[in-house]
Structure 1
Amino acid sequence: MSTTSPPTSGSAPPTTGGTILRPFKAPPKLKSDWLAPAILTAKTITAAAECAPFPYIKGVSGTVLILLETVVAVKKNREDLEELCNSTTEIITILHDQIKIHGNTAAVKFKGLCEELESYLKAVIFAIRNVQDQSKGLRGRVKEFLKSSSLTDEIAGYQTQIQGVCSKLKLMAIVETNFKVDEIHAIVTAPSFAVVKAVQNINNCPPPSRIFQGRQAILDKMHQFFNTDSAEQHIYVLHGLGGAGKTQIALKFIEQSSFPNVFLVDTSKIETIAMALKSIAVTKSVGNSAQDALMWLQSNHNKWLLFFDNADDPKIKLNDFLPKCSHGNIIITSRNPEMRSYGAHTLVSDMEEADATTLLVRRANKESSEENLQLATEIVKELYYLPLAIIQAGAFISKSEDLEGYLALYYSNRARLLSEQAAQSHDDYAQTVFTTWQISFDQLSQPAATLLQLCSFLHCAGISEDMFSTASKYDFPSSSPPREELQEPLEFLSHFVEPTGEWNSLKFLDVTNEIKAYSLISFDTKTKLFSIHPLVHAWSRSTLLDEEPGYSCISSILGMCITEIPESEIELSSVRLIPHIILLKGANPDGVADFRRVFWEIYYNAGNFRDAQGIAQQVVEKSQLLLGEDHPDTLSAMSNLAQTYYGLGKFQKAQELKLLVLEKRTKILGEDHPDTLEAMGNIAAIYSALGESQKAKELKVLVLEKQRKLLGEYHQFTLRAMGNLARTYSDLGEFQKAMELEVLVLEKRTELLGEDHPDTLAAMGNLAATYSAIGQFQKAKELKVLVLEKRRKLLGEYHPSTVRAMGNLARTYFDLGEFQKAMELEVLVLEKHTKLLGEDHPDKLEALGNLAATYSALGQFQKAKELKVLVLEKRRKLLGEYHPSTLRAMGNLAQTYSDLGEFQKAMELEVLVLEKRTRFLGEDHPGTLLAMGNLAATYFTLGDFNKALSLEIEVLQKRRQLLGDKDPHTILAMRNLAMTYQKLGKQEEREELEQLIKDTKSL
C-alpha cells in the first residue's frame, strides 16, 4: 500500500497511518461584488480608529484595508481569497463594536489578539505581493500563486488561523466581564469552536433539528429509564456510527424532559471537557475550575442532567469527569461501543424506512404526495437509511428541486454528494457524511487504517479473521505466483504473525478493536464475522488515491486463503467467500497476482457456473500458452472447464473435453493414477447425464474397484465412487443394489465427516431418492426435510444444492398426495433455478416438468399442457429425441393429453415412449413398465381392452417379480388388470385378483 500522503488543500486535515485521502473540491463561489462593501467597511472603521486612544485597533483595521486593496489587483482569481477577507472584515467590525461598548475593558481584553491578527495579515499581503512582483503576467502569476502547493498550504493555514481568531473573538464578546485576564487567556487558547459551544449552551442546550423524525422506540426507552426511581446515578449511552443521529436523539429527549439544570459538554477533547465543566462552576458561582463544578454536582441533589456529547476518543478516560455520587442523570453519545460499560445503552443505527422517507421529503421541501414518497423511498434505500446522508440528500434536492433526478446523479457522483455541506441547515452539525468519518479515520494507526481500506474491496458483510489467518499460512505451491508478486500482502499479514510463523489473534483483535472504537466496523459475536456499513464501505475506498495496490493486496490475500482451504471444506467455504470474490470480479488485471484458478473453485462450488466458465477458459488459455497442452496443470484446468460445462448442462461440450483429458492422463500417468481415475469418474457422470446408463455403470464399477484397491474401502474418493455407482443403479432400476451402497456411504460419511458435511447431506439425499423410487415415501420425506433444513442453514437459500433439495422434497409431497405443498415449493424452485441457471438448464426444465405434473394432479390440465409442451420442445432441442429426459417429457405430455380427452394424441406419444424405453432401458426397467402401464390405460379408455389386457398382464408379472406383491406399484397394476378383466367379462379372473389384493393388504 502507498505510504506517501499528498499535499492537502484548504483546511482539510492531513491523512495519517500511510493512507491517502482523495480531496473532493467544492465548486467555486461566483460572487463578483463582495470586495466593494468590505473595503467600505474597513475604511469606515479605520477612520473611526483615528480618534481612538488604542493604536493596535487602528493598526489591525488599517492592515485589513491594505489586504483588501491588494486583493483588488488579483481580479480574475480573487474569489479564492473571499472567505479569508470576509473573516478579517468581520473581526474588525466586532472589535469596533466592542470598543464602543466596553471601552478600556475591551481594549485590554483584545490587545494580544489584535497584535496576533496583524502579524498574520502582513504575512498574507507579503505572499500576494511577492508573486505579483515576478516576471509573468498578472493572471499567470495569480494562477501560479493559487496553485502552488506550498503557498496554497500557507494561505490555507492563515485562513484557518484567522477563522479561529474570529471564533475566539465572538466568544470573548459574550463572556461575562467578571472573567479575569488569565481565565480569558485559557479560553482563547482552547479550541475555539468547542469553547463557544460549551459556554453558549450551559443550562441552555440547543433544540433538536426542526425536522427531527422518528426514533420513538429509543426515546421511549430513555424516558422509561430516566423515570425509574433508583438510588443510583442514571447513565444512558447512545452509541453508533457517526452520522447516525445520536446527538439529535439526545437533544430531542432533553427537549421532551423537564430537567431544571441541563449542561452540555463537548467531550471530543479533554480540554473542551475541562473548559465546559469550568464554565458550569463560573456560571453557578461555585468556583472557577472543573473540580469545583464536579463538587457542586455531587452535592446538588436537585434534578440535573449532564450531556457528554461526542465522547468518541477511546484514549479519554471519561470516568475522570463523571460526578462521583449516587444521584444525577447523564447522557453520553459516542461512536465507541466500549462506552456501553457506563450504563444502559442503545445502538443507534439506521432509521426505519417510513421515518427516513418522511425526513427526506421534509428536508427536500417537497409535498408528501404518493409519487414523491415513492421516489424518496428509493433514495433512502440507496442511502441505507443513514440520517446524515438523508439530510444531505434532502438539502441538495431542496436546492436543485429535482427529486426524480437525484438517484442518477448520486450513482455517478456519490463521493461529491456525500461530501457537500448545505448552506442552510436545521441544526448545528457542521460535518458531512464523509468528513465525519474522516475525523475518526485520521485517528487510526497504520495497520488499522490499512485493514479498513482493504476491507472496502471485500463485500461489506461476512468478513472474518479466518480469511487473513488462513492466508498467513500460505505455503507457495508449485502453481503459486512468485513470492515477489506477494510482497505487499505478506508485509501486511506480518503485522499479525509471530516470528515462529504462528498467527497472533490478539494482535488482530487489537487492530479491529481500534476500528470498532469509532464504529467504522461491527462484529457479530454469534457468527464471529465483521461487517461495515455500506456507506462507510464505499467511503473507506475513497480514502485511497490509487485503488490498484489495495485491490492487488486483498485479491492476493483471498487467493492465498482459498489455496490453503482443505478440499473437504471448500463447498462450505465457498458460500462464505463468494460475495467477496464476486465483488473482486475474479479478474486478474495487470499488477495483480494470478489466483484465477482458485477463484474458479469458489465460483464452481458456490454454483455460480456462468462466471466460473469465463474464469476457467482464461486459466486453460494461459496454461496452454505457458505450460503446454500436456502439462498436469493444463489438464487440470481443462478438467475444471469441462466440469463447468457439466454444471451449465452443456453435456456434449463437457464430454468432448473430458474424453480428451482422460486420453492424455491415461497416456502420461497410467490407468491407475488418481488423476486418471478422477477423469474416468467424470466421463461416467457425463454418460449418466446423457442417458447412457449402461456405459456409465461399466465405467463406475471399474473406478470403484480401482479406488478400493488403491485407497481402501472407506477413503473419501472410494465413498464418492460408491455413491456415484449407486445413482447409476437407481437409473437402471436396480434399487436394492443402490440402497445397499447408499446406506453404507451415508453411514461412513456421517462417521468420518459429521452429520452436517455437504458430502453427508448428498448421501442422505441420494438414499431419500431411492426410498422414493421404491415407494417408501414417508421415509423419503423425513430424510428430505432434514437435508433441506441443513442445506439452508449451511449453504443459504439460493445455493443450487439447496434449491435441488427443495425440488426433491416437493416431489415427495407430490408422491404423498400433498399437492398444495408440492406446488408452493415447486414455484419457488422454478423461480430460483431461472435466476441461477438460466432458461434452458436441465435443472430448470426438470422444475418446469415437476410443476406441470402438480398442476395436472390439481386438475389444472391446460396449465399443465402449456408447460409440458414447452419442456418437451426444449428437451428435444437440447438432448435429442431419445434421451431419457426427453422420453419422460413425452410421457408426461401424453398423460395430460389423456386428462384433456385427447386420447389419440396421447396414444401416439405413448407408443413412441414405450418403444424407445424398451430399446434403451430394457423390458424390466421401472421407466419401461411405467410407459407400458400408461399406454395400457389409454387403450382401456379408447375401448381397446384386449391391447390393454396384454400390456397389463406383462406389467403385473414384472412388478411382482421385481417389487413383490406388497409394493404400491404392484397393487396398482393388480387393480388396473382387474378393471380390464371386468370390461372383457372375465369375472373369475377379476375376482381372483381382487382377493389377492385383499390378502396382500391384510398382510
Structure 2
Amino acid sequence: MQQHLSQDNKARMVFVLHGLGGSGKTQIALKFLESCNEYTTQFFVNASSSEALNTSFMNIAISQGFGATPEAGFQWLISKNKEWILLYDNADNPNLNLQPFFPHCTHGNIIITSRNPQLAAYGPASHSQVGNLDEKNAALLLLARAVKENTDENHKLALGIVQELSCLPLAIVQAGAYVARFKNLVNYLSLYRQNRDELWQQHPGPRHDNYEWTIYTTWQISFERLSPVAAHFLQLCALLHHSNIPESIFAKATEWIVKKQRDEAESLQEAREFLQNFVSSAGCWQEQMLRNIVAEIEEYSLIERHELSNTLSIHPLVHLWCLGTLYDKLPAQRCMLDVLGMAIDLGPDGNLGRIALRAHVENLVPDLASISSQFWAQYGAIYYDGGNFERARRVYELKLKKQRGLFGDEHPDTLVAMANLARTYSELGRHSEAEQLKLSVLQQCRRLLGDEHPDTLLTMGNLASTYSELGRHSEAEQLELSVLQQRRKLLGDEHPDTLLAMGNLASTYSELGRHSEAEQLELSVLQQRRMLLGDEHPDTLLTMGNLASTYSELGRHSEAEQLKLSVLQQRRKLLGDEHPRTLLAMGNLASIYSELGRHSEAEQLQLSVLQQRRKLLGDEHPRTLLAMGNLASTYSELGRHSKAEQLELSVLQQRRKLLGDEHPDTLLAMGNLASTYSELGRHSESEQLELSVLQQRRKLLGDEHPDTLLAMGNLARTYSELGRHSEAEQLELSVLQQRRKLLGDEHPDTLLAMGNIDLTSHATREYQAPEISQHQGLSEHSQVLGAVRPDTSGYHTGPGGLGPCQG
C-alpha cells in the first residue's frame, strides 16, 4: 500500500484489499492510515450498501460545514486539491456498483476493503489478497490480546492455539479475548476443541476499529446472501478435504448421469437432483454453470478457485464452520458419496487422479456401509491406490460377493472382481489366498475363452507374479514362457504385449540368478521399444530402468548409472519433478549411488523423494514409508545409525498400524530395524526382532521361501555376534541345503551361504554383508509395484481390468 499510494504521479490511486471475512483487511487499512502523514484528511466510508455510502458522504459534508447532502460531500472532495484519502470499508455486496460513489476528479486516493476479489478490477496494478498471519506474529497477537507475557512457555502454548485456528486474525482476537477474560491459556486448546461452535459465537470484546462481528456472524452473513444452489454446493464441498478439490469431479459425475439410463441411477436421487444444476437445456454437461456457482461463492471469499490446477479450496476454519451449517448431514453425505463415485476413473490412466482423491475420500466416508453398492469398485480403487489395502480388501470382498450373487462365477464382471481382490490380497501379503483366486480366474478364462485369448494370457501372468511372491520362481518361469510363446505366435515379436511378456520373464530369470539371460531379453525389449516408440516413451524408459537393474546385479554399476540418469532426465523433462514415475527414477538412481559408495549423493535424492511423497501421498502411504526406509538405509551406510533407527521405528510403527504384524512389509521393517540394532551393538534387541521375523515367515511362507532363508541367515549372524557360533552354524547349514535344492550350486545366494558357513566354522565375527537384510528390498523394489525389478517393465491394466500384469 505504501509503495502504490505514495507515488507522486498527480493522479488518483486506488488500492484494494480483498480476502475472507475476519482476515484483517480493515485493520491493515487503519494501520496504514495511522502511520502515514502525507494524507492530511482521512474519511471512513461505510461501503456495505448504497444507503450507507450516501450517509457517509452526507456526514463528510456536515463535518466540513459544506452542506448536509451526499452531493455536497462529493463537491467538497472535488473542490479540495489538498491530499485526502477515503477508506471504503466492507464493500462486500457483489451487486453494488461503487463507481458512481467515487468523486469525479483526478486527485485524492481511495482504499477499498472487500471480501469480493472481483473488486481488484478497481486497482488492476494495486490490489492484494489478505491471507492468514504467519505463526510467529499470530502467536504475538494472541498473547497481546490475552494480556499475557511473551514467555517461552506462553509462546509455545500460543503457537498450538494459532495453528489450530489456521492463523486467522479474527479467530485469534476472539481466542485472546476469551483467554483474557477467563485466564485459561493453558487449557484453551482442549476447551476450544470441545466447544468450538459456542466459542466462535463469543464476542471479541471492545475493539479500536469497532469490528463487532464474531467469527460465526462474519461468515453467516455471507452465507445467507448465497443463492440456495451456491450454498448447497459449498456445503457439499465442505464434506471433502478443504484443499485441492478437483472441479472435474462435478464434470465427470454430470457426464455419468447424462449417459446412464434412469433405472441405473434411480437410487441416486439427491445426486441426480444436484447435478441437474450443471446440465444444459440440450441435456449435456455445461461448464459455465459450474463457473457461475463458484464465482458467486468467490464473491464472499468463502471459496477460492485455482486457475492453473482447476481446483477449489476452502479456508480450514470456514470448512469446519460450513460443516456446522449442515443440519441434516446424511442426505448431503449420501449425495456427495454418489457424486464422487460417479467421478472416479477406473481406467489404467486414472491412477494419479485416484491418488488425488484419497484425502477427500478419507474426509467423506464415515463407514463402508455408507457407500452405494454401485460404486464399490470405484472406492476400492481409491483405497488401493491410496495404500489403504485393508479397506480396499473389505470393499472388494463386498463387490465380489455381490457379483457372484447376481451373475455367478463365470461372468466377466465377477472375474474382474476376483482379480481385483486377488491383487489386494497380494498387497496384504496373503499370497496363498491370492493364488487361489487367480487360479480360479485362470481356469474360468481357459474354459470360456481358450488358452490363446488375451485375458487368459494376462491371468497367467498375474498368477506367475504370485508364484514369484511365494518364492516359486520355477513355476513362475513356466507360466511366463507359455505366455511369451503364445504372444509371439499370435501377435509377433514386436507387439507391446509380447515385449511385456519378455520383460516379465527377464524379471524371473533375475530372481533365479540367471542375469545374463535376463540381460539378453531386456536388450531385445529395449531395442524394439526404441524402434517402435522412441527414446522418450514411458515404456522405453521402463525398459531402460530394468536393464540398469540387471547391470547392477552383474556388477556393472557404471553402465547402470548412465541408464538411470537418462531415465531420470527424461522423466523430469516429460512429467515434472513431482510425478510418481520421476520419484521412482530418483529412488532407483539413489540405489546405484549407494552401490557405488556415493552415499551422500544417494541421501540428497532420497530426501527429495521422501519430501515429495509426504506432500503428495501423506505420511502413511506405503510409498512414503518405502522412501523413509530407503533413507534410513543410506543413513546406516553413512554411519548415522541413530538417525536410521528413528526412521525405521516410524516405518515399523506405521506398518504395524496399517498392515498388521504378519504382513511381509512389516516383517521387512522389523528386519531392517534389527540390522540397525546390530550396528549399534544392541544384539539382544536384534535377536528378539529377528526371531519374530523368522517365526512369522515360517508360518506364512514355509521353510523353503527365500525370505524365510534370508531371515535364518540374519539370525545366524546375530547368534555369531553374541558368541553362539554353534546355533549360527546350524541355521546356516539349513540355509545352504535349501538354497542348493532350490537354486543350484552356482546361484549367488547359494555361494553366499557357503561363504557364511566357512566364516562361522572359523568362529570369526566378519560376515558377508549381502546376507543381511540390511534394508533388503528398500531400494525401489517389489514393495512398490508388485515387481521384482527396481523399475517395472509394463503397466497395470487398472482396477477395471483383470488385475495387474506381473512386472
> Alignment partner for residue 505 of structure 1, among 287, 291, 300?
287
In structure 2, what is the equivalent of residue 129 of structure 1?
A: none
> Alignment partner for residue 556 of structure 2, among 776, 801, 808?
776
Which is worse superposed, 655-664 or 788-797?
A: 788-797
In structure 1, what is the equivalent of residue 134 of structure 2?
A: 352
Aligned pairs for 1:546-585 (under 5 A) are 546-562=328-344, 565=345, 567-585=347-365
Task: From the superposition, tell whether residues 251 and 533 of structure 1 become closer, same or farther in structure 2 (CA, over 3 Å).
Answer: same
In structure 1, what is the equivalent of residue 709 of structure 2?
A: 887
Contact kept? 2:192, 2:199, Cα under 8 Å: yes
Task: From the superposition, tell whether residues 411 and 304 of structure 1 become closer, same or farther in structure 2 (CA, over 3 Å).
Answer: same
1:150-187 CA deviation, whole Å, 9 max, x = no partner?
A: xxxxxxxxxxxxxxxxxxxxxxxxxxxxxxxxxxxxxx
In structure 1, what is the equivalent of residue 6 of structure 2?
A: 227
In structure 1, what is the equivalent of residue 483 of structure 2?
A: 703
Aligned pairs for 1:305-316 (under 5 A) are 305-316=85-96
In structure 2, what is the equivalent of residue 329 of structure 1?
A: 109
In structure 1, what is the equivalent of residue 253 of structure 2?
A: 471
Q: Does 1:529 align with 2:311?
A: yes
Contact kept? 2:346, 2:378, Cα under 8 Å: no
In structure 2, what is the equivalent of residue 915 of structure 1?
A: 737
Which is worse superposed, 425-434 or 543-552?
A: 425-434
Q: Does 1:925 align with 2:704?
A: no
- C-alpha displacement of 1:845: 4.3
In structure 1, what is the equivalent of residue 394 of structure 2?
A: 614
**Distance in 1 separating the partners of 2:60 and 2:302:** 33
Q: Does 1:416 align with 2:238?
A: no
Contact kept? 2:677, 2:685, Cα under 8 Å: no
Aligned pairs for 1:363-762 (under 5 A) are 363-422=145-204, 427-474=209-256, 482-562=264-344, 565=345, 567-585=347-365, 587=367, 589=369, 592=372, 594-707=374-487, 718-743=498-523
Which is worse superposed, 896-905 or 522-531?
A: 896-905
**Distance in 1 separating the partners of 2:262 and 2:682:** 55
Task: From the superposition, tell whether residues 754 and 434 of structure 1 become closer, same or farther in structure 2 (CA, over 3 Å).
Answer: farther
Q: Percent identity?
A: 44
Contact kept? 2:254, 2:275, Cα under 8 Å: yes
Letter in 2 for 1:597: A
**Distance in 2 separating the partners of 1:851 and 1:813:** 22
Task: From the superposition, tell whether residues 646 and 795 of structure 1 become closer, same or farther in structure 2 (CA, over 3 Å).
Answer: farther
1:887-929 CA deviation, whole Å, 9 max, x = no partner?
A: 2344455567778887666554443333221111122323223
**Distance in 2 separating the partners of 1:499 and 1:927:** 69
**Distance in 2 separating the partners of 1:788 and 1:832:** 26
Task: From the superposition, tell whether residues 460 and 616 of structure 1 become closer, same or farther in structure 2 (CA, over 3 Å).
Answer: same
> Alignment partner for residue 16 of structure 2, among 237, 241, 264?
237
In structure 2, what is the equivalent of residue 286 of structure 1?
A: 66
In structure 2, what is the equivalent of residue 982 of structure 1?
A: none
Task: From the superposition, tell whether residues 476 and 245 of structure 1 become closer, same or farther in structure 2 (CA, over 3 Å).
Answer: closer
> Alignment partner for residue 862 of structure 1, among 673, 676, 681?
681
In structure 2, what is the equivalent of residue 61 of structure 1?
A: none
1:184-229 CA deviation, whole Å, 9 max, x = no partner?
A: xxxxxxxxxxxxxxxxxxxxxxxxxxxxxxxxxxxxxx33433343
- C-alpha displacement of 1:542: 2.5
- C-alpha displacement of 1:497: 3.3
**Distance in 1 separating the partners of 2:464 and 2:371:** 41
Letter in 2 for 1:643: R
Task: From the superposition, tell whether residues 921 and 425 of structure 1 become closer, same or farther in structure 2 (CA, over 3 Å).
Answer: same
**Distance in 2 separating the partners of 1:681 and 1:476:** 38
Aligned pairs for 1:62-461 (under 5 A) are 222-258=1-37, 259-343=39-123, 344-422=126-204, 427-461=209-243
- C-alpha displacement of 1:385: 1.0
Task: From the superposition, tell whether residues 396 and 604 of structure 1 become closer, same or farther in structure 2 (CA, over 3 Å).
Answer: same
In structure 1, what is the equivalent of residue 693 of structure 2?
A: 874
Contact kept? 1:556, 1:593, Cα under 8 Å: no
Q: Secondary structure at the match of 1:485?
A: coil
Contact kept? 1:468, 1:493, Cα under 8 Å: yes
Higher relative contact order (CA 8 A, sep 6+): 2
Contact kept? 1:907, 1:938, Cα under 8 Å: yes
1:612-655 CA deviation, whole Å, 9 max, x = no partner?
A: 12222332333344444554433332322221121122222322
- C-alpha displacement of 1:517: 1.7
Contact kept? 2:690, 2:711, Cα under 8 Å: yes
- C-alpha displacement of 1:241: 0.6
Task: From the superposition, tell whether residues 636 and 393 of structure 1 become closer, same or farther in structure 2 (CA, over 3 Å).
Answer: same
Q: Secondary structure at the match of 1:569?
A: coil
TM-score, length of structure 1 as denominator length:
0.64
Q: Secondary structure at the match of 1:568?
A: coil
**Distance in 2 separating the partners of 1:494 and 1:276:** 44
Contact kept? 2:14, 2:110, Cα under 8 Å: yes
In terms of Rg, which structure is larger? 1
Contact kept? 2:400, 2:417, Cα under 8 Å: yes
Aligned pairs for 1:747-896 (under 5 A) are 763=543, 765-781=545-561, 808-819=588-599, 821=602, 824-826=631-633, 827=644, 831-832=650-651, 835=654, 838=659, 840-846=662-668, 860=679, 862=681, 867=686, 870-871=689-690, 873-878=692-697, 879-892=701-714
Contact kept? 2:257, 2:265, Cα under 8 Å: no
Letter in 2 for 1:550: A
Contact kept? 1:868, 1:892, Cα under 8 Å: no
Which is worse superposed, 719-728 or 548-557?
A: 719-728
**Distance in 1 separating the partners of 2:426 and 2:561:** 28
- C-alpha displacement of 1:333: 0.9
Task: From the superposition, tell whether residues 612 and 566 of structure 1 become closer, same or farther in structure 2 (CA, over 3 Å).
Answer: closer
Q: Secondary structure at the match of 1:312?
A: coil
Task: From the superposition, tell whether residues 236 and 496 of structure 1 become closer, same or farther in structure 2 (CA, over 3 Å).
Answer: same
TM-score, length of structure 2 as denominator length:
0.79
- C-alpha displacement of 1:773: 1.0
Contact kept? 1:803, 1:833, Cα under 8 Å: no
Letter in 2 for 1:243: G
**Distance in 1 separating the partners of 2:484 and 2:260:** 30
Letter in 2 for 1:247: T
Q: Secondary structure at the match of 1:333?
A: strand
Task: From the superposition, tell whether residues 815 and 349 of structure 1 become closer, same or farther in structure 2 (CA, over 3 Å).
Answer: same
Which is worse superposed, 871-880 or 344-353?
A: 871-880
Which is worse superposed, 618-627 or 742-751?
A: 742-751
Task: From the superposition, tell whether residues 305 and 423 of structure 1 become closer, same or farther in structure 2 (CA, over 3 Å).
Answer: closer
1:258-288 CA deviation, whole Å, 9 max, x = no partner?
A: 2321111111112211221232123223344
Letter in 2 for 1:257: C
**Distance in 2 separating the partners of 1:616 and 1:749:** 35
**Distance in 2 separating the partners of 1:897 and 1:575:** 44
Q: Secondary structure at the match of 2:442?
A: helix
Letter in 2 for 1:489: A
